[in-house]
Amino acid sequence: MTDSAEGLTHLDDEGRARMVDVSQKAVTDRRATATGHIVMDAATLARIVAGDVPKGSVVQVAELAGVLAGKKTSDLIPLCHQLPGANITVRLEPDEKLPGIVAHAEAIIAGQTGVEMEALTAVSVALLTVYDMVKAVDRGMRIGGIALLSKEGGASGTWLRDSGESGE
């Protein structure tokens, strides 16, 4: 695997985009977690929690959308590797302090490359799904704080976001 002069693995020495060759990397257990949130009117959150949204269960649909998106990450991000068999979980939790919903995703695989992009994609699409399902009552919602919280496995080992560091 040849890195560009700047150490950017998705650029060759001539600055052209390329897929990273992971064919010679060892298969290791890999895990990544990510988070994000959507801020909305308190009345909108109350409707979601009460199940008073015409399109159905916002939380269930958004969690499922996040899982499906995580599985399709390589279709969305051009230089991502396909990761068959990755286990992806997404959980959404109402947070009255925001007010809004906080999304958490975890992606796990035994593979030759990490699953950070899968976790981040899962969170992003879950939050976009929340927006889509309730935009008719609250177009002013804001999605933010999408961040990798941790990654484990591979040659670079474990990385944890500093607990005092926000995703903003």
Q: Report if residue 22 sits inside a domain.
A: no
Q: Report if residue 91 sits inside a domain.
A: yes
pLDDT tens column, 113-156: 889 999 999 999 999 999 999 999 999 999 999 999 999 998 88
pLDDT of residue 45: 98
Q: Are 71 and 86 in contact (CB under 8 A)?
A: yes
Q: Report if residue 111 sits inside a domain.
A: yes
pLDDT of residue 168: 58
Q: Report if residue 41 sits inside a domain.
A: yes
Q: Which residues are catalytic?
A: 132
Q: How many residues does the chain have?
A: 168
Contacts (Cβ under 8 Å, ≥6 apart) of 102 = 35, 36, 37, 92, 93, 95
Q: Report if residue 95 sits inside a domain.
A: yes
pLDDT of residue 3: 42
pLDDT tens column, 10-54: 777 888 877 787 888 889 999 999 999 999 999 999 999 999 999
pLDDT tens column, 154-166: 888 999 999 876 5
What per-residue string of b and e applies to 45-79 under the rule 16 or more CB within 10 Å gives b?
Answer: bebbeeeebeeeebbebbbebbbebbbbbbeeeee
The number of distinct structural domains making up the chain is: 1
For the domain that residue 132 is a member of, what is the CATH number? 3.30.70.640
Q: Report if residue 6 sits inside a domain.
A: no
Q: Are 133 and 65 in contact (CB under 8 A)?
A: no
Q: Report if residue 18 sits inside a domain.
A: no
Domain carrying residue 154: 28-160
pTM: 0.88
